[in-house]
């Protein structure tokens, strides 16, 4: 069967089995909601400076910073609020992030233990599901190529290779190899907001795969399209027009080419040979750019 023509892909049908076991153990709801809680907390952290400034303005208007004998807001309350905003709240945020990390590690370990008992050994007996998803990538190299957040490079149509254990075919239980993708576009866009210099792509995954609540891990991948950012990655204001490449220096004097998008103003001074139009980049990557 040609995987390019058949619109059905096999996956390991363990999700419902894990769901029943974890509901009985009383851990399912916390695990499933952890990602959403973490996203909401990060969004709150982003607006924290505005909240802090707003509280300070209110305290100032109510006389908390004045030398009056009887201000509406006593200076002790203002000082306590300042200590809280500067010391207490950041420490609480750090502890909460540590808690997220510990919970994610425990959840990952529970899943690995549960994966040891698969419902089927023959791949053709597995449940079937179309695995379509979204992920974030950077574009690197003098000739542009997709580069994942782990640093692995791949073309628009690739089979996963495990660098640690080349003998096995990804994905494998107990190993992290394989192509990953979010099921929901919103999750990928949230990750993109944390890494604003990257790009959002739409992918199809093929072959044996693991289906999780928020994403997939599969054997092979085809990139369908790349979303062209609306804003220039340099000035963050004007509309992006072209792709440009520039040198990046990492640890140990590691130097590589990195691709970004620029507006008509920020692209001035960039050599013509270091630019690509949207059409040219689409041809280089062999994917649609929209």
Query: CA-to-CA distance for 136 and 225, rounded, in angstroms?
Result: 12
Q: Return the higher-pLDDT residue of 108 and 86.
A: 86
Segments making up each domain of the chain, as ranges: 18-114, 130-290
List Cα–Cα distances, 41 to 47, 95, 96, in angstroms.
10, 12, 9
Helix (H, G, I), strand (E, B), or coil: what is residue 62? Answer: coil
Indicate the length of the chain as a whole number: 290
Query: In the beta sheet, which residues pair with residue 225?
Result: 202, 288
Query: CA-to-CA distance for 133 and 127, rounded, in angstroms?
Result: 18
- The runs of H, that is alpha helices, within 8-27 are 15-25
Residue 212: the pLDDT is: 83
Query: CA-to-CA distance for 132 and 206, rounded, in angstroms?
Result: 9
What is the average pLDDT value for the chain, to the nearest integer?
82
pLDDT in tens, 109-152: 776 666 555 555 555 556 678 899 999 999 999 999 999 998 89
Q: Is the pLDDT of residue 31 over 50?
A: no
pTM: 0.74
Helix (H, G, I), strand (E, B), or coil: what is residue 180? Answer: strand
Residue 124: the pLDDT is: 56
Residue 182: the pLDDT is: 95
Asked whether 119 and 13 are in contact (CB, 8 A), the reply is yes
Residue 148: the pLDDT is: 93
pLDDT in tens, 33-79: 788 888 889 999 999 999 989 988 888 888 777 777 777 878 888 88
Backbone angles phi, psi at 73, to 5 degrees: -115, 110
């Amino acid at each position: 069967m040609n995987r390019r023509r058949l619109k059905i892909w096999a996956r390991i049908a363990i999700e419902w089995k894990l769901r029943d076991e974890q509901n009985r153990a009383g851990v399912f709801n916390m695990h499933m909601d952890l990602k959403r809680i973490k996203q909401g907390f990060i969004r709150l952290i982003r607006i924290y400076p505005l909240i802090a400034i707003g509280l300070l303005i209110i305290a100032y208007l109510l006389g908390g910073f004045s030398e009056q004998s009887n201000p509406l807001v006593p200076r002790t309350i203002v000082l306590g609020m300042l200590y809280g905003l500067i010391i207490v709240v950041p420490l609480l945020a750090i502890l909460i992030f540590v808690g997220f990390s510990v919970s994610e590690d425990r959840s990952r370990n529970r899943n690995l233990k549960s994966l040891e008992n698969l419902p089927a050994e023959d791949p053709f007996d597995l449940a079937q599901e179309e695995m379509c998803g979204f992920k974030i990538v950077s574009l690197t190299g003098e000739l542009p190529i997709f580069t994942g957040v782990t640093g692995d490079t791949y073309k628009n149509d690739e089979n996963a290779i495990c660098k640690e254990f080349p003998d096995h075919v990804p994905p494998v239980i107990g190993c992290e190899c394989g192509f990953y993708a979010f099921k929901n576009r919103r999750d990928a866009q949230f990750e993109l907001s944390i890494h604003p210099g990257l790009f959002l792509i739409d992918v199809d995954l093929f072959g044996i795969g693991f289906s999780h609540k928020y994403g997939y891990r599969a054997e092979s991948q085809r990139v369908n399209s790349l979303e062209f950012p609306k804003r220039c990655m340099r000035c963050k204001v004007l509309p992006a027009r072209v792709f440009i490449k520039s040198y990046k220096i990492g640890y140990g004097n590691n130097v590589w080419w990195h691709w970004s998008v620029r507006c008509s103003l920020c692209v001035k001074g960039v050599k013509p040979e270091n630019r690509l139009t949207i059409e040219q980049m689409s041809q280089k990557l062999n994917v649609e750019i929209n």
